[in-house]
Structure 1
Amino acid sequence: MDSPSKARAEREAIASEAAQWVVRLSDDPDPADRARAEAWIDADPRHAVAFVAAEAAWDASPHARLRDTPAPPGAPGTTARPSVLSRRSLGMSLIAASMVGAIGLGRVMLADGDRHETRRGQQSVARLSDGSSIALNTDTRLDVSVDASQRLVRFIAGEALFTVARDETRPFVVDLGNARVEVLGTAFNIRKRTDNVELTVTHGLVSVIAANGQSTQVGVGKTTLIRPDVVATTDLDVALLRQRVAWQDGYIELKDETLEQAVAEFNRYRDQPILIGDPRIASLAIAGRFGVHDGDAFVGALQASFAITAERTTDGAVVLRRG
């Protein structure tokens, strides 16, 4: 069997096993089955991707109920089915659906070499032959090199989430310029800003090697700020972890960010920017959840909730001022 055929057969086998687990766990599963399913999910990033894809298909079928929506008291047939994913699998459940290209993300590319990039407002998924996947957020550029001797990504700009298949013989390396990230198999989100890099680990363990050679281990549920002379790691609670990776489901989550910070997030996806025309409103605390392309809805919510006016310029920009 040639290599592409073999890889396709492996994907089909994993997808079939994932579907069997979803069906088995769909109705009051035995705790032992749940534990075995979690072990299977954690064994390989491809298992988590396949499981969430199968679970999404099951939930979309006519018999499925929304698991996260409370039912009216006494409504028949509305008992929620608990998710099989435990807290330690939360990171994979948050990102895996986007990896199958079913939620929010656009093109899916086979990507073992050369430059891969997204334009402003675009998202896509690059799948590698080793079973790894890279979800690229808006305005992202990176170079990928995967062969028999190495797995290397040169991260140039933007934001991406990596789901790395485990390979003891070929560590997966992300070159950030002033530091590098090295793993065997795990999942993590990288956002490269003008003056720093923000790394969030959603599954497994990551090594960050600074330019001076100092190595820092970063585990699941932690975030690391990387500067040329500083590598600082802090804990994230579940809510903040969800916020960091909400873009993969097509959302911007705001939890008391300033208006200035919120506007900067929406402008990552807009050709016509939102501008703050009055510094007195820049520090307003904003909370809410919006689609990444719902900047106009965000502006409407500001006008309804605060004494803020919005004016559109001739070139399409939106200027916010105190009312």
Structure 2
Amino acid sequence: MTNSVGYPINQMSLGLMVLIGLPGSGKTTLSKTLVNNYTYFKERKLNFIHICYDEYLEFSKDDSTTDWKNQRNTIISEIGNLIISIKSESWNQCPQKFAHHLEKLDCSIKNIVLIIDDNMYFKSMRYSLFQIAKKYNIGFCQVFLKCPVELALLKNPQRIAHSVVPSSIIIKMNDKLEPPDINNKWEKYSLEIEAFCDLNQVCDKLFSTLIDSMQCNEYTINSDPKQRELSFIQCKKNVLHQTDLALRKIISQKIKAILCSTQNEGRRELVLKLNNRKLEILCDIKAGNICLTSDVLEEINKGDDNKYALYEFLTTYF
């Protein structure tokens, strides 16, 4: 059985919608509009759950990068637990921090979209969530709110006090922001909209992107546990090996630049910092704190000699 737009309503469908954009680009405004029973989507039998990272991340001047990453990893893990509780309809197993969201759901609507509201300016941040979607065989799509940095800086002071971000950080994010690329298989279901646009003008495209991602069956996983584990181990070893080689090359190039431009007394310290950074990156990849994008992984698996995507990806971490 389907509704008036051809969407199945007798079975549960679940998807992640990851928002991308600068602080002040309207991500939370869009999320709240969708959650508050926006008529267009309610008529099409969609429930929304808004997961705003700002509500769960604790910031302080003393926080280390490691602590920040650990907090984000905890949220991702609990999103996975939320997905399990929804799919199994075991509401009592829902992570406590998300329980209030389930209380607001329209129980007559079985189709649920988890809106992930964060800046998500690095592909690696989004890829971690794609892996969750793949693991639990649910839909995954991205919505990029394109916003001029000048407008983001103007809107930023209007945010809730604890959510206001220093202007220097917004400018830095803008310089490093990696928009979705639909040529990457995992980013196939991506939509770009103008920040603060009229939702009525983009709701058809948004709905189409959501439904297409939730109905796709591209995340099928090998059913043989032993073969899957062996394949995973072999792939991971190759990825780490190729990453190590690429990092060595990047470090070598940077050391040459240091030798040409730095006084003798400062060279040793800079070289030591580079080598330490290399070890940190490798450890983060092993631990899953840094996730290589699908285009990088595809490049590695193909065995290409010139790993441009890998070098470009790793260079952003220096």
TM-score by length of 2: 0.23
Task: Report which structure shows greater RCO (CA 8 Å, sep ≥6).
Answer: 2
TM-score (norm 1): 0.23
**Greater per-residue strand proportion:** 1
